[in-house]
A = this chain, B = another copy of it.
Amino acid sequence: MTSDIGRLYLGIDGGGSKCRALLADASGRPMASVTAGPANPFQDRAQALASIEAASRGALAQAGLGEADLSRVVAGVGLAGVNIPSVYAAMAAWQHPFAALHLTTDIHIACLGAHGGEDGAVIVAGTGSVGYVCVDGRSHNYGAHGFPFGDKASGAWLGLEALKAALLHLDGLGPQTALLPRIEGALGASGLELVAAMAGASSRDYGALAPLVLECADAGDPVAAAILADAAGYLDALARRLLSHGVSHFALLGGLGARLTNWLAADVQAALVTPRGQPDEGALRFARSRPQARTAALG
């Protein structure tokens, strides 16, 4: 057995917009928390590695530690995209500076954080959408298939549906909707200029339109309300599918999560719980839960 004295634990929550690192001592007591740049290895492996290193060194510095202490760190890293075997393999091949690195998905650490490491389920509704459940050490994923064919009820999906509805109204081929003037205002483009403004747009560009759908629906626009009802119907089905695996509750995460709660069915809302912790806390928990032997072998 390797002694735990002097060991450090690091939880890394990497995503397409930023990377958070949470550093703890051997007993698990938090020492530092920092944020660095994007860390999505599917989009840009080199950038992801640089962001993880930057966040790690930053956390050590914040704790009054230095470069040499990287070799004492057991890192738990949750990243989008590592459910894809080639992305996982590319990350696993990294000659990292840590004593050990334990790799898993972003949704896994989100679930560990939300339920304090216990069995449970999460739905993340942000730019993308995904459902995840973990019961008795077995996990199941739903959704997260990507834009434009997956990620229903995500910000990108809401924005795309809103633009479709606005263009149908513009052509007189769909019902009138306040989404048209609101999107025109947001993009600084009017009428058919919307087409040029959104040609080749990314899922994040579409996601930026999602708040307009919520605002229009709140203001009574029936087209926006129908889009949200469609999204909520999907989230209801997704939640029930997760609960069918034998958990009694789920957490709704992501930038849109809180905004969509009121649109869910009563039975689904009844199973909703507030997350206990954040994904970086889940990543730290993941690092601490890994077997010692592997850590020692790699350390």
A contact set with B: CB distance below 8 Å:
84, 142-143, 145-146, 148-150, 152, 160, 163-164, 167-168, 171-174, 192, 195-196, 198-199, 234, 237-238, 241
Contact = CB atoms under 8 A, between A and B. Distances in A.
Contact of A241 (B152, B171, B199): B171
Given A173-B237, A241-B172, A160 B149 contact: yes
6 contacts: A142-B173, A145-B192, A148-B160, A149-B195, A149-B198, A174-B237
Nearest to A234: B173
A148 B167 CA distance: 12
Given A148-B148, A148-B160, A149-B163, A171 B142 contact: yes
Contacts of A148: 148, 160
A146 B199 contact: yes
A146 B241 contact: no
Given A145-B195, A195-B145, A196-B84, A150 B172 contact: no
A182 B142 CA distance: 21
Contacts of A195: 145-146, 149-150
Contacts of A167: 145, 149-150
Nearest to A148: B148
Nearest to A200: B146
Nearest to A161: B149
A80 to B, nearest CB: 14
A67 to B, nearest CB: 38
Most B-side CB within 10 Å, residue of A160, A174, A195, A234: A195
A32 to B, nearest CB: 37
Contacts of A150: 164, 167, 195
Contacts of A198: 149
B173 A149 contact: no
Contacts of A172: 142, 241
Given A149-B164, A160-B148, A163-B149, A171 B199 contact: no
B84 A173 contact: no
Most buried by B among A145, A160, A174, A237: A145
Given A146-B195, A150-B164, 4 more contacts: A142-B173, A143-B171, A146-B199, A173-B234
A33 to B, nearest CB: 33
